[in-house]
Chains A and B, each alone.
Chain A
Amino acid sequence: MNTISRGRGRAWLYLPLILMALFYLLPLYVMLNTGFKSFAEVDLQTMWKLPSGLHFDNFVAAFEKLAPYLWNSVKLVIPAALISSFLGSLNGFVLAKWKFPGADIIFPLILFGMFIPYQSILIPLVEFMKRINLYGGIPGLMLTHVIYGIPITTLTFRNYYASIPNELVEAARIDGAGMLKSYRYILLPLSLPSFVVVLIWQFTQAWNDFLFAVVITSPSSWPITVALNNMAGSQIIAWNVQMAGAFLAALPTLLVYIFLGRYFLRGLMAGALKG
């Protein structure tokens, strides 16, 4: 049996797939459906009914409340993703191509950092940030994301650079290129797709983080996740506005996923090591 004939007569397989698709779409449906209702239509007892038309009241209300926090997230996440990706690329390059004595011990030590439960470092982190006067603000949170992002960015780049033949670096060497030049002119340009993978991954991770943010930022510096959770916990803000807010909070990473899904998937698999 070849693949083509295996594909035929199997229409029934779509039934479980479609049922599962409905399960995955359920929250998205509720989020958008509620978001597009007018204030008057919103009622918990009719939450599955479609809206009478497209109303933007909820999104406007949510945006008014969440805009400063969305902006905080943007200011925080973009530099954090850029810096930790760049550091990961340097580390990956050295660990794959210019192993120094002891590199084989260092690499697993760095890797372990990506699995630790952050509860085990939270108290020192807060104390440390207070001592260096970065507690409460965005720069402190940014630094935190950069540092705890190093393990995964290093891993992804190391694996990528390891797959590039050593002969390429050797050839550059014969042509007189030193270590930095072979990085700058050969490996760095080759690894642009990896940069996309790592940047997307770090962007998503930092955008979605809650734990670090809730512990080391003060309300004016809250990123969107903390603000959204706070909004959801309050009794004053209607649930329809919360739904619209949840959608706004999810939108940036969702757009990245929709347009750059291929790279997103590669980042995902890198996190699983070799699987």
Chain B
Amino acid sequence: MQKKETWLSIALVSPSILAVLIFVYGFIGWSVRVSLSKWKGLLPDYTWVGLRNYINLFSDPRFLVDVKNTLLFTVLFVVGCLLLGLILALLLDQGLRGEAFFRSLFLFPMAISFIVTGVVWRWLMNPAQGDRLSGINLLFNSLGLKFLISQWHATPGIGIAFIAIPAIWQMSGYTMALYLAGVRGIPEELREAARVDGATELQVYRYIVLPLLSPVTLSAMIILGHISLKVFDLIVAVAGKQLPLDVPAIYMWQTTFDGLFYGRGATIGILLLLSVAVLVIPYLRHTLRTEAEL
């Protein structure tokens, strides 16, 4: 009976496990193999070239721009989401009326695709100047905030920084939800005890709440960081595929499916995977281990 059920349980999950093994691990292995080949053009060519694709990428000016863009974007996006998320969560934790309404409002962008967000922000961040001023620039102009008028993502050199604005718009509510769950998980007695000891409300936050939220910050950083490394559709929808706003995910897409440089495309994909794995594997190990100890 017991043995029969063990086999049955394996039979139930094996289609899924097999699918994941093939589509995740098999395909990763296949991509690694492509990245070590000289495949260029419509027909597969698995001629072994060792690490040549990898070496070439690191002296490829376009890829170096991508790395710089990704770093700048990641820092702004992650810091922006964390700050905004934390502030919103602390505001919502004050027991104000209408909390549920504000919470839902801050979270609704999570239900929308990056493409929709991008299409709308494309017009909000219209870089046109002078008589053709529009979008948020127009708003700044009529509010007397002319100094804020910006070329947005068309700003030379740091255009990618402005893509962080719609990205933060989209993901800060999520960060807020993570923090809010964290704050709600702190026992009220802990804060109460500090107040009894004469701590001001500000001190309660500084010495009790914030330190206890650091695990949430770490999780949020990892989740946001891996989203940021993969950013793709948002940029495409806001600005199309233009070189100053290039990131590895866009380069991979273009070089593979428009340029047919399969070897190079696979190499970028694997490098993205490695950078995400560095973030996510320790996180997964830690989470699963803590769970097992409970």
Interface of A with B (CB < 8 Å)?
A: 1, 3-4, 6-7, 10, 13-14, 16-17, 20-21, 23-27, 30-31, 44-45, 47-48, 87, 90-91, 93-95, 98-101, 106-113, 115-125, 127-128, 144, 147-148, 150-151, 154, 178-180, 204, 207-211, 214-215, 225, 228-229, 232-233, 239, 242-243, 245-246, 249-250, 253-254, 256-257, 261, 264-265, 268-269, 271-275
Contact = CB atoms under 8 A, between A and B. Distances in A.
A233 B138 CA distance: 23
Contacts of B117: 27
Given A7-B94, A14-B96, A123 B112 contact: no
B18 to A, nearest CB: 10
A274 B284 contact: no
B139 A120 contact: no
Interface string B13-24: 101110111011
A27 B232 contact: no
B229 A117 contact: yes
Given A13-B96, A225-B113, A87 B280 contact: no
Contact of A246 (B26, B34, B116): B116
B273 A116 contact: yes
A61 to B, nearest CB: 15
Interface in B108-159: 108-124, 126, 128, 132-136, 138-139, 142
A179 B30 contact: no
Contacts of A210: 113-115, 232-233, 236
Contacts of B25: 109
Contact of A120 (B31, B120, B232): B31
B240 A48 contact: no
B152 to A, nearest CB: 14
Contact of A232 (B15, B114, B122, B288): B122
Contacts of B236: 210, 229
A208 B123 contact: no
B8 interface: yes
A123 B13 contact: no
B120 to A, nearest CB: 4
Given A120-B273, A154-B16, A24 B111 contact: no
Tell me the dominant secondary structure on chain A's binding face: helix
B196 to A, nearest CB: 10
B17 A13 contact: no
Given A24-B169, A124-B27, A117 B273 contact: yes
B195 interface: yes
Interface of B: 5-6, 8-10, 12-13, 15-17, 19-21, 23-28, 30-31, 34, 44, 84, 87-88, 91-92, 94-97, 102, 104-124, 126, 128, 132-136, 138-139, 142, 169, 173-174, 177-178, 181-182, 195, 215-216, 219-220, 223, 226, 229-230, 232-233, 236-237, 240, 248-249, 252-253, 256-257, 262, 265-266, 268-270, 272-273, 276-277, 280-281, 283-285, 287-288, 290-291
Contact of A273 (B17, B21, B287): B287
Given A124-B27, A225-B115, 14 more contacts: A44-B134, A45-B138, A93-B12, A100-B10, A109-B20, A115-B280, A117-B269, A120-B31, A120-B272, A123-B30, A123-B269, A225-B233, A261-B107, A268-B174
Contact of A44 (B17, B23, B112, B126): B126
Contacts of A108: 284-285, 288
B272 A119 contact: yes
Contact of A121 (B27, B123, B230): B27
Contacts of B174: 268
Contacts of B276: 115-117
Contacts of B13: 90-91, 94-95, 106
A268 to B, nearest CB: 6
A120 B269 contact: yes
B26 A124 contact: yes
B115 to A, nearest CB: 4
Contact of A257 (B111, B132, B220): B111
A268 B135 CA distance: 31
A159 to B, nearest CB: 9
A99 B123 CA distance: 53
B9 A179 contact: yes
Please indicate which of the listed interface residues A21, A123, A127 has the most CB atoms of chain B within 10 Å of its own CB: A123
